[in-house]
Amino acid sequence: MSNTRMKDALEEIARQSVPESTNLWPRIAAQLEERKSLMMTFRTRPFVALLIALLFLVALSGVAYALGRAFGYFPGLGLVEQDAQFHVLSEPVSQTRDGITVTIMQAISNADQMSVTLKVENVPTEKQTFQNMSDPNTCRSYPVSYPQLRFPNGEAVKISSGVIDPLTGGYQAQYKFSSVPMNAAEAILFIPCIHGAVSPGILPENWEVSMRFVSAPPELALTVIPVTVVTTMQATPEPALVTTTSLPPEPATDKTDRLSVMKVIDTGKDYIIIGAFTPPTPRPNEQGIYAVVDIILRDGNQQVIEDEEFPFDLDLTPYILETPAEKSVWAVKFTKEFTPPLHLTYQTQYYYSPLPQDSYTFDFDAGPNPQVSQEWNVNQEFQLAGHVVTLTKITAGTNNYAFFFHTDDETVESVGMYSRDDIQITGYAPTDTRGYFGIGDWNLTKVYSELPKGNLKVVLSGLYLFGNIEDWTMVWQP
């Protein structure tokens, strides 16, 4: 278990990475919903240090390679071919604006993927925070704040995953890019804004840092760790208890074989277990989501083992695509130095929506020419399935509206967060949806190709309630 690490997995990455003509949604919808729900960890775990892991789905054309070749493991890039050819940054590069310095410390590429490590320094503390910001216009979440690579041929590649570690007056970050041009000699790292900026424009934005790459020395390839697929005993389930809550009791569920191991990778000093979770079927009068809260590892002496959940440099796409849609794929990396057997606890939070779903419709006059940062204090109280929620305000962005909600009902988890159709402006189809969770307060941003104007009809639905926290456990023997 890693208390100081938080996962933020966003459906936007998958949607941006897969061509519009490729209909993967029926196959991976459940996975995307769970990844989006991981934002819940921001409000349930201690905020000691921040690690953001963006789990990604690359274009379908890039999927097949991951399961059929001989691989080694290279930190930051993940699995690479054992005869990989690398390119590296010719020298560190820096850029300073308004006293703030961005330094690209390291960059390495292999075939069609690249890892970039950078450091941001001298940021005034009053202008940056790593707390969970409620304003959707702040430099806080993908795709607003994360870099992209731009190449001389005009191609631009978006981030596929990354980790961010806060420092005093800045942060250090490592980003991974997939599907980059082969053997690229030059690139520009475009940084839209400094992560954690408390408001738009308060820190320098739209950074462009040029990088040049050279062939890596041959000895670098020797650092690739050969990996082997471990022959393992079948993982066996353990009895687990339901965490007691004040919620209505839920029917007992069969916990047999809910967790399974798909693959175990031995990197020399670590194991990486890739597995699947099969959730129970929701009750007939509701639809539900089992969102992972934590993965806890203990050794044979019941001592906790530190781990990295969903390692950022591991591409889980092939495993997601080969797994039935009702299952969730998970991964955990941990040291081999432990006393077996391994006791793994997969902890979930259940969210459910009563069926048939209720909805609330109201009229909203945005005026003929809504302006960026314009705000309407709506304070519209409504009920869904007997639960009272208030739409407190609506704000406008360049091409989006953000809807802010509040409730004093402690059984309400959110409204509008788990389907693109939960909040609708009649007659307008959003191109993107982003959610920001908070206990009792949350907001949802709808992005449009053209901002809706005039008298608008808004439909609110998608009420989700808190269910039980449950532990699903198994024993694994190397």
Per-residue pLDDT, averaged over 89-99, amounts to: 95
Residue type, 16: Q
Assigned fold of 225-354+467-476: Immunoglobulin-like (2.60.40)
How far is Cα 402 from Cα 395, in angstroms, rounded to an integer? 5
Question: Which is more confident, 408 or 175?
Answer: 408
Report the candidate in 411, 282, 419, 406 with the shortest Cα–Cα distance to residue 355. 282
Is residue 334 scored above 80 in pLDDT? yes
How far is Cα 55 from Cα 7, in angstroms, rounded to an integer? 9
**What are the structure tokens assigned to 81, written together?**
């071919």
**What are the structure tokens assigned to 342, written together?**
């391994």
Which residues is 171 bridged to in the sheet? 120, 166
What is the reported pLDDT for 416?
Answer: 92
What is the reported pLDDT for 256?
Answer: 57
Contact between 289 and 466 under an 8 Å Cβ cutoff? The reply is no
- Computed on alpha carbons and rounded to an integer, the radius of gyration of the chain in Å comes to 23
Is residue 312 scored above 50 in pLDDT? yes
- Model confidence, pTM: 0.70
Is there a cis peptide before residue 356, judged by omega within 30 degrees of 0?
yes
pLDDT tens per residue, range 114-142:
899 999 999 999 988 876 555 555 665 44
What is the pLDDT confidence band of residue 50, given thresholds at 50, 70 and 90? very low
Per-residue pLDDT, averaged over 67-73, amounts to: 58
What is the reported pLDDT for 20?
Answer: 30
Residue 134: count other Cβ atoms within 10 Å of its Cβ: 15
Per-residue pLDDT, averaged over 245-254, amounts to: 46
**What are the structure tokens assigned to 417, written together?**
């967060």
What is the pLDDT confidence band of residue 67, given thresholds at 50, 70 and 90? very low
Per-residue pLDDT, averaged over 41-67, amounts to: 30
- Sequence-distant (≥ 6) Cβ neighbours of residue 129 within 8 angstroms: 196, 198
Is residue 215 scored above 60 in pLDDT? yes
Mean pLDDT of the chain: 77
Is residue 249 scored above 80 in pLDDT? no
What is the reported pLDDT for 283?
Answer: 85
- Sequence-distant (≥ 6) Cβ neighbours of residue 318 within 8 angstroms: 63, 64, 66, 67
**What are the structure tokens assigned to 51, written together?**
């690690």
The CATH number of the structural domain formed by 86-223 is: 2.60.40
Per-residue pLDDT, averaged over 144-161, amounts to: 83
Sign of CA dihedral 249, 251, 255, 261: negative
pLDDT tens per residue, range 264-301:
888 888 999 999 999 998 888 999 989 888 999 999 99
Residue with tokens 């849609």: 325
How far is Cα 183 from Cα 108, in angstroms, rounded to an integer? 11
* Domain assignments of the chain as residue spans, ordered by start: 86-223, 225-354+467-476, 359-461
How far is Cα 103 from Cα 108, in angstroms, rounded to an integer? 15
Residue type, 220: L
How far is Cα 218 from Cα 77, in angstroms, rounded to an integer? 17
Is residue 308 scored above 70 in pLDDT? yes
What is the reported pLDDT for 335?
Answer: 95
Is residue 51 scored above 50 in pLDDT? no
What is the 8-class DSSP label of residue 32?
A: H
Buried b (16+ CB within 10 A) or exposed e, 353-375: bbeeebebeeebebeeebeeeee
Which of 1-10, 229-238, 240-249, 313-322 is predicted least confidently? 1-10
What is the reported pLDDT for 235?
Answer: 53
**What are the structure tokens assigned to 433, written together?**
């949806």
Q: In terms of C-beta density within 10 A (0-12 exposed, 13-18 middle, 19 or more buried), how is residue 113 classed?
A: buried
Please provide residue 46's backbone torsions phi and psi, each rounded to the nearest 5 degrees: -60, 140
What is the reported pLDDT for 34?
Answer: 34
Per-residue pLDDT, averaged over 317-335, amounts to: 87
Per-residue pLDDT, averaged over 405-423, amounts to: 92
How far is Cα 289 from Cα 192, in angstroms, rounded to an integer? 33
Per-residue pLDDT, averaged over 3-9, amounts to: 30
What is the pLDDT confidence band of residue 233, given thresholds at 50, 70 and 90? very low
What is the pLDDT confidence band of residue 229, given thresholds at 50, 70 and 90? low
How far is Cα 323 from Cα 325, in angstroms, rounded to an integer? 6
What is the pLDDT confidence band of residue 46, given thresholds at 50, 70 and 90? very low
Domains 86-223 and 225-354+467-476 belong to one CATH topology: yes
How far is Cα 136 from Cα 200, in angstroms, rounded to an integer? 10
pLDDT tens per residue, range 158-193:
887 777 888 889 998 888 887 788 778 899 999 988
